[in-house]
Amino acid sequence: MSVFDSPSDVLPDQASSPEEIARFVVEAAINAPSVNNTQPWWFYGIDREIGMHADTERSLPVADPDGREMMISCGAALFTARVALRYLGVVPKVRVLPEQDLPTLVAKINWSESVPAVGYERELFAAVPRRHTHRGGFGPEPLPAGALAALQIEAAKEGAKLLVLAGEDQRDALAAVVEAGDYALRHDEARAREQAHWGTGPGSRRRDGVPPSAYPARQARIEPNFPARDFAHGHDWGLPPDSGDHLARSAGIVTVLTTSSDRPHDWISAGQALQRVLLFAASSGLAAALHSQPLEVPQLRDFSKVHLCDGAYPQMVLRFGAAGQTGASVRRPVQDVLL
C-alpha cells in the first residue's frame, strides 16, 4: 500500500518508530522529478535523522558532467521529504551539503519539534503523487488570475527566481534555443546513446528511465515550437493521441527557473524551488512541461543566461498551462533506495 492510498492506515502517529517515519518520508520523496527519471538518490534513516545521498552511478556523464541536473533532482526529492514531514506535523531542520569532504551527502534532515500541518501544506502533500511531467502543448485557456505571481512567490521561497518570458521575441528565442539543444541531443552520438539508455521500451520491467506511458507517440507542433526529448529514440512508442489534442497547440506560459550563482548549493536550491513550484501548480490544476536540453550544451546555456535571463544562471525551462492528457511514470521501490 502506498502512503497516498490511505494515509490514515499508514500515517505514523506520535508513537511511531523512526523507521516508520523514514519509510513514510522516503516513499513520498521518490515521487520527485529527476532528469531522465534517473532517480539519482539513496537515503538512510537513523533516530530522528534522515540523510539523502546523490547516487553518482546514476549520473549522466555526457549530458551532465558536473552533476548539476543530478543535484537539481536531489533537491526536488529533498523538498518532497520536507513536505512529507510537515504532513506528519514534524518541523524539519535541514542542513544542505553538511559535510565538506562528502560532496554526495546532499542533506541531513533532523526534527524535534511538532506543529500541526496547515491546509496549504496538506495540499502540497496531496499533489505529490498527482504531479506528472507533461510533454506537449496546452489548451488555449489563460492561467487563473494570480496563478503566475503565486508560482513566482513559491520559487522565491527557496532562493530561486521564476523568470516569465512574456514578450513574443523572447519566447521565440527560447524556443529556438530549446530546438538547438534538442538537435544536439539527437545528432551528437555520445549524447544520443546516453539518452537512449534512459528511454525504456514497451513492456520493460525497469523501474527507472522514461517509459512510453509518459509521452505522446507524436507531438503536435506547438506555437512557438518547444520540442520534447526523443525518449522513443526513433521507435513509434508513446501514448495514442488524446481527443483534446487538437486544442493543445499553445506553448503555455513560458518561464525559466534561475539562480544568482551556480554552485552545488544553488543546484539543490533550484531543485527544491522546482518541486515547490511543480507541486503548487499541480495543486492548482496546472500542468508543467520541463525542458533541459539546451542547458546541457554549455554554449546554449551561456547564450540563455546572457540574452534571456538577465545574467542569472538558467537551471530549468518550464512551461505551464491546462492539459488533458499527462503521462504516467515509474519509480524504484522504497527498499531499493532506503538503507
Ligand X SMILES: Cc1cc2nc3c(=O)[nH]c(=O)nc-3n(C[C@H](O)[C@H](O)[C@H](O)COP(=O)(O)O)c2cc1C
Q: Among residues 21 and 291, whose Cβ is nearest to ligand X?
A: 291
d(CA 282, CA 87): 17
* By CB under 6 A, residue 258 contacts ligand X: no
List the one residue from 245, 256, 329, 337 that touches ligand X (CB under 6 A).
329
Report residue 250 CA to chain centroid gap. 21
The answer to whether residue 151 forms part of the interface with ligand X (CB under 6 A) is no
Please count the residues of this chain forming the interface with ligand X, following the rule CB under 6 A.
Answer: 21
Kind of pairing between the strands at 253-259 and 313-321: antiparallel
Judged by CB under 6 A, the stretch of 50-58, 131-139, 199-207, 240-248 that binds ligand X is 131-139
Q: Using the rule CB under 6 A, which residue among 26, 30, 37, 85 binds ligand X?
A: 37
DSSP-derived letter for residue 147 is H
Provide, rounded to whole angstroms, the least separation between the CB of residue 246 and ligand X: 21
Residue 159: CB minimum distance to ligand X, A: 17
By the rule CB under 6 A, 135 interacts with ligand X = yes
- Does the protein bind ligand X through residue 264 (CB under 6 A)? no
Q: At what angle do helices 119-127 and 264-283 cross, to 10 degrees?
A: 100
Closest distance of CB 305 from ligand X, Å:
17
Residue 76 binds ligand X (CB under 6 A): yes
Burial class (CB in 10 A: 0-12, 13-18, 19+), 192: middle
Residue 161 or 291 having the CB closest to ligand X: 291
Query: Considering the rule CB under 6 A, would residue 33 count as an interface residue with ligand X?
Result: yes
CB 278 within 8 A of CB 288: yes
Q: Residue 305, interface with ligand X (CB under 6 A)?
A: no
For ligand X, give the closer residue by CB, 34 or 283: 34
Q: Locate all alpha helices (DSSP H) within the chain, ordered by sequence.
A: 7-10, 18-29, 68-87, 119-127, 147-157, 168-187, 189-198, 264-283, 298-308, 334-337
Verify binding: residue 255, ligand X, rule CB under 6 A: no
Report in angstroms how near the CB of residue 177 gets to ligand X at its nearest. Answer: 12
The residue from 22, 50, 60, 72 that contacts ligand X (CB under 6 A) is: 72
Q: Which three cell numbers stand for residue 79?
A: 523538498
| 229 contacts ligand X (rule: CB under 6 A) | yes
282 sits near ligand X (criterion: CB under 6 A): no
Nearest approach, Cβ of residue 33 and ligand X (Å) = 3
CA–CA separation, 71 vs 265, rounded Å? 9
Q: Per the structure block, which three cell numbers stand in for 167?
A: 514578450
Respond yes or no on whether the N-terminal peptide bond of residue 224 is cis (omega within 30° of 0): yes
**Shortest separation between residue 46's beta carbon and ligand X, angstroms:** 27
DSSP per residue over 197-236, as a string?
A: HHBPPTT---SSSB-GGGSBSSPPP-BS--PPP-TTTTS-
Q: How far apart are CA 324 and CA 240, in angstroms?
A: 13
Across the beta sheet with 41-46, what order do the strands follow? 41-46, 49-54, 105-114, 90-96
Comparison of 250 and 315: residue with beta carbon closer to ligand X:
315
Q: Could you list the residues that contact ligand X (CB under 6 A)?
A: 33-37, 69, 72-73, 76, 132-133, 135, 210, 214, 228-229, 290-293, 329
